[in-house]
Amino acid sequence: MEENIKDEAAKDNYRQAPKTAVYVCHCGGNISDVVDVKKVAAEMARYPGVAVAREYAFMCSSNGQDLIIDDIKKLGVNRVVVAACSPSLHELTFRGVLQRAGINPYLYEHVNIREQVSWVHKADHEGATAKAVKLTQAGVEKVLRQDPLNAIRVAAEPRVAVIGGGAAGMKAALAAAGKGLEAVIIEKAPRLGGKLLELGKVYPSGEQASSVLKKFEDLVAAEKLITVHTGAEIDFVGGFVGNFKINFKKSDGGMAQIKAGAVIMATGFEHYKPHKGEFGFGEAANVVTLPDLITLLKNSPAGRLEYAGKEIKSLALIHCVGSRQIEGVNQPQADGKVNDYCSRVCCTSALYTANQVKEKYPAVQIYDIYRDIRTYGMRHEDYYEKASKDGVIFFRHAETDQPIVESARVAHTVKVKDVLTWNEELEIKADLLVLVTGMMPSDIKFLASQMKLAVGADRFLQEVHPKLRPVEAANSGIFIAGTAQAPMDLTETAAAAATAAAKAAILLAEPDIPLEPFVAVVDEAKCTGCGLCPAECSYEGALMMTEKNGKKLAQVNPALCKGCGACVAVCPVRAIDVAGWTLDQFDAMVDAIGKEG
């Protein structure tokens, strides 16, 4: 009987007087080697509003979690503070614990006494302990003023829009469809395929790119859940997670609109185009790029390698053209920046292509001039070994000693200070000069600005976190697949695309999407309609002025608000607050930290 009463009370507990439990975690010595956790727990047990305070070796372990559940169920605890590691690591874990115990998961505060205390005050145990107490007290003050929030639910279109129809876009659409999700590919070119349309034999499988493409195209055509729009020119992307709208001009000139719950960016890359005169490119005859050599090889008959009507008996590859550039040495791009990143795929591709030249035309002499050989993938080093065995001659130059090309009418002379022969200056004569050009992201400035996408210093699209959230854009509902994000080969592209599709499918698995409730809320009674706050908001559509019963008011769109708090800072009458992070909560936290003793 008594149990039943407690269970009922636990369900409805936030309406009751707050009963707060505090748990201080040792983090297996990470915290307790510096902070006196027993003292923190003892201090917290005495703090007003705290019903129980405990310390434990690993709060995130199942035993640690059970401690909390027991206290909620047996003692009627209805607010919880855990002083432990970083909230990014375990805040969700503990919110889940509250939910499992039957109380509102937002009646929880996570205090970081590891990164903010024990790790940064290793030499001052007393000071660290005092700081841990203060921060935990502030956490209690915050949770005491916490409302039982509910996740915001937005209805979602059960469809993913895939922008770009190269290997990444096709793979992403197929993977999404494989999970039962409708996918729409929007491709600007007249045909699907991206760079697969250009490449010849591709590593690691040794298949022709055309047959890889054919397989993709057949699978896409056979999949009823995939719609393809080629020759499509996007002129608007708007909306938010669950409700994106993409307008585009179709190849027949008509306009179309796609509504999608999620978007996968698969806009791929462009080949670096050398500047006029860069190693003789665009000025001297017979200076081509690696993609040009791949095309030449694809189309050349057996027996004789020809370029521009002339037999090629020797060719020299120069690596890192347009990649790993050095400021002040290389000519910058239009935005003033050099491409200082490694394009990753070009070393392997150059060696793979050199091996094919050797197979088809064994008499052609190949020279390979490199700074580093970066054949990083599984068994890719084999291509380097094969090239060495088949007679490709390698020269290595230092970062600052770029090869110098002197081009005559019939042949080129490349001067290299060769590290492999103790910096001897060597001269290489070659009929054809092949610049191993790198990758640059497709020009997606328009899409990036419409969709407010983060772009890295290298101009590729940026993910939230390379390890923890590797295919997610910072904006909810937008995912990144393939070389739109960074140079990748086809294997990596396929893996990234499948991951992006899985993420989109998880997001759209339910008819509506739960969003965190930490968004701005307007107190209509206090709002004077002054209009100061929308001007501060950087998120289009998140905060607008509206009229209600003849009164001007600020109005928040919770699906678009990011909870940044910029609006809160300018309101002269404290009429707007971010739920879960209100000014009253901040005031109380600061007071707790500033209080003597």
Q: Closer to ligand FAD by CB, 30 or 349: give it.
A: 349
Report, in Å, the least distance between residue 289 CB and ligand SF4.
12
Q: Report the SS3 class of residue 131.
A: helix
Residues in contact with 504: Cβ distance below 8 Å, sequence separation at least 6, in sequence order: 160, 172, 176, 181, 261, 262, 264, 479
Tell me if 163 contacts ligand FAD by CB under 6 A. yes
Tell me the site size for ligand SF4, rule CB under 6 A.
43
Q: Map the footprint of ligand SF4 across residues 372-411, applying CB under 6 A.
A: 372, 374
Select from ligand FAD, ligand SF4, none the partner in contact with residue 533, using the beta carbon and a kind-dependent cut-off of 5 to 8 Å.
ligand SF4
CA 137, 138, 142, 145 torsion-angle sign: positive
Q: Closer to ligand FAD by CB, 300 or 491: give it.
A: 491
Q: Closer to ligand SF4 by CB, 325 or 499: give it.
A: 325
Q: Map the footprint of ligand SF4 across residues 568-597, applying CB under 6 A.
A: 570-571, 573, 575-576, 578
Report, in Å, the least distance between residue 337 CB and ligand FAD.
20
Q: Map the footprint of ligand FAD across residues 347-386, applying CB under 6 A.
A: 349, 352
Q: Closer to ligand FAD by CB, 243 or 483: give it.
A: 483
Distance CA 355, CA 230 (A): 35
Q: Taking CB under 6 A as the rule, which mask of x and - marks residues 130-159 in contact with ligand SF4?
A: ------------------------------
Distance CA 277, CA 169 (A): 35
Select from ligand FAD, ligand SF4, none the partner in contact with residue 566, using the beta carbon and a kind-dependent cut-off of 5 to 8 Å.
ligand SF4
Question: Would you state the structure tokens that stand for residue 136, as one six-digit string?
Answer: 């935990």
C-alpha distance from residue 14 to each of 45, 110, 385 (Å): 21, 18, 69
Residue 294: how many CB atoms within 10 A of its CB? 23
Question: Would you state the structure tokens that stand for residue 51, as one six-digit string?
Answer: 């019903």
Q: Which residue has the tokens 């915290």?
A: 31
Question: With helix as H, strand as E and coil as C, how does 91-122 read?
Answer: HHHHHHHHHHCCCCCCCEEEEECHHHHHCCCC
Among 76, 298, 536, 544, binds ligand SF4 (CB under 6 A): 536
Are the C-beta atoms of residues 318 and 435 closer than 8 Å to each other? yes
Distance CA 501, CA 122 (A): 44
Are the C-beta atoms of residues 14 and 107 closer than 8 Å to each other? yes
CA atoms within 13 A on the CB side of 116: 17
Q: Taking CB under 6 A as the rule, which mask of x and - marks residues 434-463 in contact with ligand SF4?
A: --x-x-------------------------
Q: Closer to ligand SF4 by CB, 7 or 587: give it.
A: 587
Among 77, 288, 347, 480, binds ligand SF4 (CB under 6 A): 347
Residues in contact with 144: Cβ distance below 8 Å, sequence separation at least 6, in sequence order: 18, 20, 49, 79, 588
Q: Which residues bind ligand SF4 (CB under 6 A)?
A: 319-320, 323-324, 342-344, 346-347, 372, 374, 436, 438, 519-520, 522, 527-533, 536-537, 539, 542-543, 554, 556, 561-567, 570-571, 573, 575-576, 578
Q: Which residues bind ligand FAD (CB under 6 A)?
A: 163-169, 186-189, 194-195, 199, 202-203, 234, 266-269, 271, 290-291, 345, 349, 352, 439, 442, 444, 447, 482-483, 488-491, 493
